[in-house]
Amino acid sequence: MNLTELTLTELRTVLQNGETSSVAATQAMLDRIVAQDNDIKSYLTITDELALEQAAAADKRIANGDESPLLGVPIAVKDIIATKGVPTTAGSKILEGFIPPYDAFVVEKLKEAGAVILGKTNTDEFAMGSSTENSGYFTTHNPWDLERVPGGSSGGSAAAVAANMAYAALGTDTGGSVRQPASFCGVVGLRPTYGRMSRWGVVAFASSLDQVGTFGRTVADCTALFQATTGYDKRDSTSLDVPVEDFTAALTGDIKGLKVGVPKEYFIEGMDGEVETAVRTAIAKLEELGAEIREISLPHTEYALPVYYLIAPAEASANLARYDGIRYGPRIEGADMIDSVKQTRALFGPEPKRRIMLGTYALSAGYYDEYYGRALKVRTLIKNDFQTAFEQVDVIACPTSPTTAFKIGERVDDPLSMYLADIFTLSLNLSASCGLSVPCGFDSKGLPIGLQLIGNTLQEAMILNAAYAYEKSTNWNLNL
């Protein structure tokens, strides 16, 4: 039995049956990381000693009859999520060496569930990017083709799961940063409703858009991690005080009568023909499984990209103002305080600098109403589009990304081309809905393609079940 090739749910079964131990599974994962990650570079920090300690503790809990769903399962955590006693850099040199004295809410939940934390995964700096090329440390490579990007900003987490270097992983999604890398790496990635998973302890990029999400090799794996880490947190003012459903029990695979909307604005000129074919084939499979397919319109889709790139940089400008070298992270001594802050902030990479400048300009006197204020109004129109659509359908099906993974360096000097990688994922974040990406095929180069399923607010159970039904009728996830 090759432990690293098991899914999360398969591992839980063999752990509960006493066929292996968490220590053995964790050591197998650590050995695979040593063997594979020099090429893929998905991890920034590997917590091997801590992981083995947690695994030994999990084995004791299992021996005492504890059946917690993540007990003893090795998990990876995006390095924008605070972990007590473990470096949290947000992929930035300006936080190099920062070790939080507390755990983020989702990490607290992981520990309560008995999960084993393997380490912290690479990310675009402050989650600003679509390729994980913007990390302040190194670029993560796509396990399917090492010359290509894994997507971003949660590329390290997606690559770790795809390369069997973690059974599941946590990421964050501000404009598609879970779903797009899930698509590029051929895994399942869930972006829950805004407020479903607490952001307490997550380094902020754009506070009205950021949301923690989960990666898994299968829908059931992704669901198990989501189940264990969701919930109300009074420390987060945006956390939703709603009951936590049994999402795992909702995976029935029955989607007969499910109304699936296909937005005409999401099949556009310029998208990869192989991507369109795979996604339309996947939608036809949903119909074969009993779903009702309807064409719908999301008329303000064309404004999502400019709206996002006004709101997100504006919020980033405010959030990143705290990095002054005084409270945490490196401090470069200058001639005076102002000079010291200037030199310290020079540690920001090119992408955060670009977004800080864009955001500061959009918020400046004389331009606030013209740019940021108007963007908020159009955001409302985009949200209304989704609400109107969900009066007609239960789920929206569309591509996750217009292309498969592009080559490393191909779009670095063309920010607009890079931003367009998220054209099909941005609108969801602006609307505060939920969505996921599930593998639906490969292109002629052998690169994964993702089907995006979008649900209304708090409808995670519905989209997870639709993805589960689709997954069970195909075998794309078995190619990992």
State percent of the chain over pLDDT 70. Answer: 99
d(CA 130, CA 111) in angstroms, rounded, equals 29
* Average pLDDT of the residues in 15-43: 98
Instruction: Provide the number of structural domains found in the chain.
Output: 1
Residue 277 in any domain: the answer is no
Residue 275 in any domain: the answer is no
List, for residues 146-201, the tens digit of each pLDDT value: 999 999 999 999 999 999 999 999 999 999 999 999 999 999 999 999 999 999 99
Q: Is the pLDDT of residue 331 over 90?
A: no
d(CA 171, CA 154) in angstroms, rounded, equals 5
Residue 309 in any domain: the answer is no
| DSSP per-residue string spanning 31-79 | HHHHHHHHHH--EEEE-HHHHHHHHHHHHHHHHTT---TTTT-EEEEET
d(CA 329, CA 125) in angstroms, rounded, equals 14
Q: What is the pLDDT of residue 39?
A: 98
Residue 376 in any domain: the answer is no
Q: What is the 3-state secondary structure (H, E, C) of 213-229?
A: EEEECCHHHHHHHHHHH
Give the full edge-to-edge strand order of the sheet including 116-121: 43-46, 116-121, 74-78, 168-172, 212-216, 188-191, 434-442, 448-455, 395-399, 259-263, 292-296
d(CA 176, CA 190) in angstroms, rounded, equals 10
Angle of the 8-16 helix axis to the 22-40 helix axis, nearest 10: 150
Q: What is the CATH number of the domain that holds 186?
A: 3.90.1300.10
* Average pLDDT of the residues in 294-318: 96
Task: Please check whether residue 448 is in contact with residue 439, taking contact to mean a CB–CB distance below 8 angstroms.
Answer: yes
Angle of the 219-229 helix axis to the 8-16 helix axis, nearest 10: 70
Q: Is the dihedral of CA 422, 416, 141, 24 positive or negative?
A: negative
Q: What is the pLDDT of residue 419?
A: 82
Which residue range forms the structural domain that includes residue 446?
Answer: 3-257+403-479
* Average pLDDT of the residues in 72-85: 98
| Cis omega (within 30 of 0) for bond into 427 | no
The pTM score is 0.97
Q: What is the pLDDT of residue 415?
A: 78
Q: Is the pLDDT of residue 305 over 80?
A: yes
Q: Is the dihedral of CA 420, 424, 429, 430 positive or negative?
A: positive
* Average pLDDT of the residues in 59-77: 96
Residues 6+ apart with CB under 8 A from 52: 23, 26, 27, 30
Q: How would you label 148-161 residue by residue, b for 16+ Cβ within 10 Å and e otherwise?
A: bbbbbbbbbbbbbb
Q: Which residues are catalytic?
A: 78, 153, 177
Q: What is the pLDDT of residue 441?
A: 97
Residues 6+ apart with CB under 8 A from 460: 190, 192, 193, 196, 226, 245, 247, 434
Q: What average pLDDT is seen over the chain?
A: 95
User: Could you tell me how far CA 140 lies from the centroid of its own chain?
Assistant: 15
* Average pLDDT of the residues in 394-411: 96
Amino acid letter, residue 298: L
List, for residues 364-401, the tens digit of each pLDDT value: 988 888 999 999 999 999 999 999 999 999 999 999 99
- Main-chain dihedrals φ then ψ at residue 58, nearest 5 degrees: -65, -40
The model's confidence at residue 316, banded by pLDDT at 50, 70 and 90, is very high
State percent of the chain over pLDDT 90. Answer: 89
Q: What is the pLDDT of residue 418?
A: 84
Q: Is the pLDDT of residue 109 over 90?
A: yes
Residue 153 in any domain: the answer is yes
* Average pLDDT of the residues in 204-231: 98
Could you tell me whether strands 259-263 and 434-442 are parallel, antiparallel, or unpaired per DSSP bridges?
A: unpaired
Residue 386 in any domain: the answer is no
Q: Regarding predicted confidence, which is higher, 337 or 468?
A: 468
User: What are the structure tokens assigned to 235, written together?
Assistant: 């420390």
Please give the DSSP secondary-structure letter assigned to residue 446.
Answer: S
Q: What is the pLDDT of residue 179?
A: 98
Q: What is the pLDDT of residue 478?
A: 65
